[in-house]
A = this chain, B = another copy of it.
Amino acid sequence: LSTLTGIDGIEETGLRAQKRGRPPSLTDVQIVAAVLRLVAETRFEDVSMRAVANELGTSVMTLYNYVPSKDALHDLVANHVLRPVRVPGPEEGTWEERICQLERDARRALAAHPGMSLPGSRGAAPQESVRLAEGVLSILAGGGFEPDEAALIFATIYTFVTGQLEVDAMQAKGGQLEATLAGVMEPARLTREETFEFGLDAIIEGLKAKIGTQRSRRRSQRRRSRS
């Protein structure tokens, strides 16, 4: 599934399956690879369509034959980056373990390309991020949570991971705030990975505790209203 290393590099998605006419000279994989190469050095927003075309050795307008807009180009790349992230199945542990693994994978995949903006931050939602979101919700449903409990848990975790990626990006860009804080936070010396693991763990711990007290409160309310 979705190797970026295919040397022949022909027909990744197969979605553009036409028979007659001049064969395409570019592949989705090639385009994605070119963008990721450029995005390793600046943010996606600072990569121009002209630069991508140049990296591919074609003209800008050739690029527009494969992708209708820059937003669509972003989605193409974001989907490619997120595609390898799996949704762990029910046999792979408790809901906590499965969610942790999914989020860890997703973050690792995205953090490998800090120049890419967050999947949801542009208009369209890349289908892969929708797939993962639905994966988390289904894990929670399997964990025996009520829909509104699942929604709260999902939102909290989603928010945390989003923030983590935002901070990853800030740091990769050498933001001044990060520098200032790094000074203040001496001598903690925490890896981004460490704060992620710690934070995710703490959040899940806290969520379980809060849901528990919410439930017992509701139960006692029910008992009270019955008497």
Interface residues of chain A, those whose CB is within 8 Å of chain B, are 118-125, 129-130, 133-134, 137, 147-148, 150-152, 154-156, 158-164, 166-167, 169-170, 173, 175-181, 184-188, 190, 195, 198-199, 201-207, 209-210
Contact between chains at A130 and B204 (CB < 8 Å)? no
Return chain B residues, CB-CB under 8 Å to A148.
187-188, 190
Return chain B residues, CB-CB under 8 Å to A129.
177
Secondary structure call for the A interface:
helix
Question: Which of A133, A154, A163, A173 has the most B CB atoms < 10 Å from its CB?
Answer: A163
C-alpha spacing A178/B162, complex, angstroms: 13
Name 10 interchain pairs, CB-CB below 8 A, sorted by A: A120-B175, A121-B175, A125-B176, A155-B199, A156-B195, A156-B202, A163-B163, A166-B166, A205-B210, A206-B207
Contact between chains at B121 and A195 (CB < 8 Å)? no
Contact between chains at B133 and A177 (CB < 8 Å)? yes
| Closest B residue to A210 using CB positions | B202
* Residues A195 and B163 in contact in the complex (CB < 8 Å), given A129-B177, A188-B148: no
Return chain B residues, CB-CB under 8 Å to A176.
123-125
C-alpha spacing A185/B203, complex, angstroms: 20
| Of the residues B120, B166, B173, contact of A118 by C-beta under 8 Å | B166
Contact between chains at A152 and B188 (CB < 8 Å)? yes
C-alpha spacing A122/B181, complex, angstroms: 15
C-alpha spacing A207/B206, complex, angstroms: 7
Cβ of A216 to closest chain B Cβ, rounded Å: 15
Return chain B residues, CB-CB under 8 Å to A188.
147-148, 150-152
Contact between chains at B177 and A125 (CB < 8 Å)? yes
Question: Which of A173, A184, A186 has the most B CB atoms < 10 Å from its CB?
Answer: A184
Contact between chains at B167 and A159 (CB < 8 Å)? yes
* Residues A190 and B120 in contact in the complex (CB < 8 Å), given A202-B203, A210-B201: no
Return chain B residues, CB-CB under 8 Å to A156.
160, 195, 198-199, 202-203
C-alpha spacing A161/B134, complex, angstroms: 23
C-alpha spacing A30/B209, complex, angstroms: 48
